[in-house]
């Protein structure tokens, strides 16, 4: 930059200089604007003449910010160096370094997961910190990192799951579509890779959240997790407990909650029938009832729910059953 250009640049108002200095002088650091998400903005240097100095200093070039899917990530070049610098990078004030560190967490989780296992207690809180970052690029990268952590470490993350789950439910409930969709994929990864026995009690707490959006996302996660218990697992967990949870969601504000409840109730009805529709050779004195009606789905619902809730549950499950009969 010429001396004339430097003198002209010094005439820029202090507020403008403050904005430029926040990029720490980097001409390659991407910036995601508030108007266009998922876009990079880079300052570029050009030949400066006289009054063009200020315009050149703030010239921007739009380019797409690349979010690398898990299957396309490459291995780290140096495992030891990546691990040594991981926590520092995650806690950096430079958002570009944070994103690089987050992607290194992803790479290490995929290619060298044992090397990070003992660090999860330190890594996850810093991932949560990035999930709270107002910069969408950092936030989405942290969401993608969360999904890879679920995939790699399964139940090992359960002790650190609560703040991670809170943020993912929040992000999946917001209006920024590309952040919301990424968070939903991370929640699907969570319900896929974390044991339902450990996950369901944590999800249950969010089914009574004040936010209807968070309740809806939690209901969908709960609905996805229950079938992974299997028939015996559902019976052990308690069909009566699960039917009460599902019934409470039937009258929730958002249709996502109600639909998740309907799906869950049909699953519970199927499990109930499998438990009671036994062949004669499978019957034991403890499974024989003098009154068949006492073993019916209808009686079970009325015995475990309030009259209004039982009616709502039976209406949902009977309509679904009638639809299957007509369809067949």
Structure tokens at 212: 């209807």
* 212 occurs within a structural domain: no
Q: Does this model's pTM top 0.85?
A: no
What would the pLDDT profile of 190-234 be if each residue is shown by its tens digit?
999 999 999 999 999 999 999 999 999 999 999 999 999 999 999
* Residue 89 sits in the same domain as residue 190: yes
Beta strand pairing status for 39-43 and 60-64? Answer: antiparallel
Q: Are 60 and 71 contained in the same domain?
A: no
Q: How confident is the model at residue 300 (pLDDT cuts 50, 70, 90)?
A: very high
- Looking up residue 99, the CATH number of its domain turns out to be 1.25.10.10
Output the pLDDT for position 232: 94
Report the number of distinct structural domains present in the chain: 3
Q: What is the pLDDT of residues 174-193, one digit of tens each?
A: 888 999 999 999 999 999 99
Is the same domain home to 136 and 172?
A: yes
- Do both 164 and 243 map to the same domain? no
Q: For the chain, what is the mean pLDDT?
A: 80
- 53 and 126, same structural domain? no
Whether 249 and 313 share a structural domain: yes
Q: Residue 97 sits in which domain range?
A: 67-199
Residues 56 and 73 in one domain: no
| 206 in a structural domain | no
């Amino acid at each position: 930059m010429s001396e004339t250009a430097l003198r002209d640049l010094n005439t820029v108002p202090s507020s403008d200089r403050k904005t430029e200095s926040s990029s720490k002088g980097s001409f390659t650091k991407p910036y995601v604007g508030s108007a266009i998400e998922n876009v990079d903005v880079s300052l570029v240097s050009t030949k400066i003449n006289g009054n063009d100095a200020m315009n050149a200093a703030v010239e921007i070039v739009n380019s797409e910010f690349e979010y690398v899917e898990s299957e396309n990530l490459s291995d780290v070049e140096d495992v030891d160096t990546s691990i040594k610098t991981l926590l520092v990078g995650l806690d950096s004030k430079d958002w570009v370094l944070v994103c690089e560190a987050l992607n290194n967490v992803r790479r290490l989780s995929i290619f060298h997961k044992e090397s990070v296992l003992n660090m999860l207690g330190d890594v996850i809180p810093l991932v949560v910190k990035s999930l709270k970052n107002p910069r969408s690029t950092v936030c989405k990268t942290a969401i993608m990192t969360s999904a890879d952590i679920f995939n790699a470490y399964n139940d090992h993350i359960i002790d650190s799951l609560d703040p991670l789950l809170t943020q993912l439910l929040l992000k999946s409930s917001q209006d920024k579509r590309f952040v919301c969709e990424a968070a939903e994929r991370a929640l699907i990864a969570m319900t896929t890779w974390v044991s339902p026995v450990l996950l369901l009690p944590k999800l249950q707490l969010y089914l009574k959240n004040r936010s209807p959006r968070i309740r809806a996302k939690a209901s969908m996660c709960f609905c996805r997790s229950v079938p992974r218990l299997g028939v015996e697992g559902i019976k052990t967990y308690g069909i009566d407990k699960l039917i009460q949870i599902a019934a409470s969601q039937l009258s929730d504000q958002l249709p996502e909650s109600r639909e998740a409840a309907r799906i869950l109730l049909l699953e519970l009805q199927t499990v109930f029938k499998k438990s009671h529709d036994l062949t004669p050779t499978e019957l034991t004195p403890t499974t024989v009832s003098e009154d068949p009606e006492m073993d019916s789905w209808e009686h079970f619902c009325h015995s475990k729910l309030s009259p209004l809730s039982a009616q709502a549950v039976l209406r949902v499950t009977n309509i679904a059953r009638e639809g299957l009969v007509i369809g067949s």
